[in-house]
Structure 1
Amino acid sequence: MFPDPIHSNAGTSRQLRFGIVLLPNFTLTAFSGFVDLLRLASDEGDMSRPVRCSWTIVGESLVPVRASCGIQVTPWTTFDEARSFDYVVVVGGLLHSGPSASKATLQFIHDAAETSATLVGICTGAFALMRAGVMDGYRMCVSWFHYWDFVERFPGVDERNLVADRLFVIDRRRITCSGGRASIDVAAAILLRHFEATVVQKALRIMLVDDAQKGNAPQPHPPGLEPATHPKVRRAILLMEQHIGQPLNLTELAKRLEMSVRQLERLFTAETGKSPHAYGRQIRIRTASWLLTSSDRSVADIASSCGFSDSSHLGREFRKEFGESPNAYRVARPQSQHALADT
């Protein structure tokens, strides 16, 4: 019987079986980080034998799958011939380049959800899990970078279940991970459910990773935001960025961070020198200014996207910040000059 997701089954003697599905243009770092931790934790010494756990690359066919960096990996077996797994891991990558998950891949994911296997989506693997129809009622983690891509592709998603401010989320038999370095963290979290901590710690040390991050650790802050040291403040900033079109009120923000409003205000001011309200306004203004000089969207559309009631509201706030109207700001800073400034 599959172990309960909450209670550790450390010390299990049965080999843990992983089936790994690589999507077209998958991220090599996410894949290699995950599988290398399995490799190092699976055996003693430097033998790399699949003793404690085994892993199999599974695909629709045995045609090599190309990573986003150009390296190709050949599946070891096909979906039809794959045996049962304890974990089915779907590794994604680029969203806007080339084909996405095939119908056969989505069917394999859907069929795996009918078994006792736990499904794991790494990087944009969560998109494939969603397309396969296996995430209803589950919380899921996506990178802050792909949050709006996810909302756009799945407009019916309950945004209360969508997490873009943490490294990974474990919700019963669904695990989703933001990708990159966090793939090592989620692999460690999975292995700690089955093996002694010393086994996992040894593997992390060999990979020169000091310690695995917990799932509630914040994702790195988006570019352009002032860095904050305290993880609660960094998560607050990410939530502000994530909900820029429909800003969270202070009560809701504090609730999501499991803090009181007073605690949040005090900590935020100490870290950034600004109140949460002032910082949130700065994020909305900064994003609006970027959209004015990097897109052809109307001022009204930008105002709506950035959480302002209308273009007049944006205009008033813009004049306070920059001393000129949004249209004047756009004219004075052509897109080509803006692009050069950002390179």
Structure 2
Amino acid sequence: MTAQNEADYIHWLDSLWAERLLAARDRKPDVSVGILLWPTFPMMSLTGVVEPLRHAADFADSSRPIHCRWSIMGKPGYEAVASCGISVRVDAPYINPTDFDYVVVIGGLLPHLQAAPAAHRDYVRVAASAGVPLIGACTGSFVLAQEGLLVGRKAAIHPFHAEDFRVAFPRQPFSTRDDFLIEDGRITVPGGVSILSLMTELIRNHCGPDRAAKAVYQLSLSDQKTMSNFDHERASAFRHVGDARVQRAIVLIESRKGRDVSPEQIAATIGLSPRQFTRLFQTHIGMSPKHFIVETRLRYVRFLLDNSVLSVTAIAHETGFSDSAHLATAFRKKYQSSPSEFRHRRN
């Protein structure tokens, strides 16, 4: 099959799948992120948060906010001007912070940290009091430190800002060698491409390895050492899918929603023996192809439970399980409930 034919085939499969699904109704996503922008914020920090979420949020390249959602918050009409001069208008008011899994503070140029609306800082303090994990991105870590929200924790700071941070917060421990640090409800990330490492890790934790791998593939992240000046050991393993054969395998599995595909078929498609393919996939993804296929199918099952009226038996058939009993066993192992219990809880 040529590359063009393969692309056409994948598009056709996705079209058939889309036609079979009902429109997604409101549901709680796997991960939800609220964003606060400080004046002169770095545009790369914003896109570094949003783009991995966008790719992980849906199948193929549909970009519907199904598995992941995000909101840029502020008073109606508020616009934050990035350091590059581009204005970004808020798309949501100050939402109850407990509706989010994370609240991200994206700081701006140091002289402008006091220029943000006072309501931004009020919201950050309320979110902290409510126990919502806070992410300080770029100089957002300065904001968290100014609010006394990094006490007893180490911060990940960009080397460029190290001396400024040391002078401003002489008793605050920090590191310039980490892509990100997660400590007791606070996450700090220096900015730049390090944010991609962090978001891939959060997606993996909340949405599963297949969503993380998809984000990595869609963003074309490589294993080049020039990608980051920070400690690569802290980055998610899914960032390092540098082998084109593994990337192609991920796309083939994901485009079919894990259905009608086997490790042996994929191995033949990419020109490897089953044993070679399994070893290569395990090395790059951290699980066997068979496990990855099941994870993808189960995620499709969960989508259908949330967004269709199909019976569990029909969903089992739709997703390639031999019967509802086999589906129930696999689903309970993954989600600690039966498909029927899961559907009932979500309604």
Task: Determine the structure 2 residue equivalent to 1:133.
Answer: 148
Amino acid at match of 2:203: L
Task: Determine the structure 2 residue equivalent to 1:62.
Answer: 77
**Contact 1:165–1:219 under 8 Å retained in 2:** no
**CA-to-partner distance for each residue in 1:257-276, whole Å, 9 max, x for gaps?**
xxxxxxxxxxxxxxxxxxxx
Deviation at 1:98, TM superposition (A): 7.5
**CA-to-partner distance for each residue in 1:293-326, whole Å, 9 max, x for gaps?**
xxxxxxxxxxxxxxxxxxxxxxxxxxxxxxxxxx
Seen in structure 2, the aligned counterparts of structure 1 residues 127 and 209 have a Cα distance that, compared at 3 Å, is same
Q: TM-score, normalised by structure 1?
A: 0.55
Amino acid at match of 1:172: D
Task: Determine the structure 2 residue equivalent to 1:250.
Answer: none
Amino acid at match of 2:33: F
SS at match of 2:73: strand
Q: Distance in 2 between matches of 1:212 and 1:176?
A: 23
Q: Percent identity?
A: 32
Q: TM-score, normalised by structure 2?
A: 0.54
Q: How does 1:187-206 map to 2 (within 5 A)?
A: 187-206=199-218
Seen in structure 2, the aligned counterparts of structure 1 residues 56 and 84 have a Cα distance that, compared at 3 Å, is same
Amino acid at match of 2:217: R
Task: Determine the structure 1 residue equivalent to 2:121.
Answer: 106
Worse-matched range after superposition: 192-201 or 89-98: 89-98
Q: How does 1:82-231 map to 2 (within 5 A)?
A: 84-97=99-112, 99-155=114-170, 157-158=171-172, 161-210=173-222, 220=229
**Contact 1:139–1:162 under 8 Å retained in 2:** yes
Q: Distance in 2 between matches of 1:15 and 1:140?
A: 26
**Contact 2:38–2:113 under 8 Å retained in 1:** no
Aligned residues: CA RMSD: 2.9
Task: Determine the structure 1 residue equivalent to 2:63.
Answer: 48
Amino acid at match of 1:178: P
SS at match of 1:96: helix
Matched, 1:79 2:97: no
**Contact 1:91–1:122 under 8 Å retained in 2:** yes
**Contact 1:90–1:121 under 8 Å retained in 2:** yes
Q: Distance in 2 between matches of 1:182 and 1:231?
A: 9
Task: Determine the structure 1 residue equivalent to 2:33.
Answer: 18
**CA-to-partner distance for each residue in 1:71-120, whole Å, 9 max, x for gaps?**
01001123267772110011123213575444321111111011231100
Deviation at 1:212, TM superposition (A): 11
Task: Determine the structure 1 residue equivalent to 2:52.
Answer: 37
Seen in structure 2, the aligned counterparts of structure 1 residues 16 and 126 have a Cα distance that, compared at 3 Å, is same
Seen in structure 2, the aligned counterparts of structure 1 residues 167 and 86 have a Cα distance that, compared at 3 Å, is same
Seen in structure 2, the aligned counterparts of structure 1 residues 131 and 44 have a Cα distance that, compared at 3 Å, is same
**Contact 2:38–2:107 under 8 Å retained in 1:** yes
SS at match of 1:21: strand
Q: Distance in 2 between matches of 1:173 and 1:212?
A: 31
SS at match of 1:78: coil
Q: Distance in 2 between matches of 1:95 and 1:115?
A: 27
Q: Distance in 1 between matches of 2:49 and 2:224?
A: 12
Q: Distance in 2 between matches of 1:212 and 1:104?
A: 41
**CA-to-partner distance for each residue in 1:33-87, whole Å, 9 max, x for gaps?**
2100000001101110111111000124432100000001001123267772110
**CA-to-partner distance for each residue in 1:140-161, whole Å, 9 max, x for gaps?**
1110110111122223x23xx3
Q: Distance in 2 between matches of 1:179 and 1:90?
A: 11
Q: Distance in 1 between matches of 2:141 and 2:219?
A: 26
Q: Distance in 2 between matches of 1:66 and 1:165?
A: 29
Task: Determine the structure 2 residue equivalent to 1:311.
Answer: none
SS at match of 1:189: helix
Q: Distance in 2 between matches of 1:98 and 1:124?
A: 8
**Contact 2:31–2:68 under 8 Å retained in 1:** yes
**Contact 1:42–1:48 under 8 Å retained in 2:** yes
Seen in structure 2, the aligned counterparts of structure 1 residues 192 and 81 have a Cα distance that, compared at 3 Å, is closer
SS at match of 2:110: coil
SS at match of 1:193: helix
Q: How does 1:238-317 map to 2 (within 5 A)?
A: none
SS at match of 1:77: coil
Amino acid at match of 1:210: S
Deviation at 1:132, TM superposition (A): 1.9
Amino acid at match of 1:168: F
Q: Distance in 2 between matches of 1:84 and 1:208?
A: 31
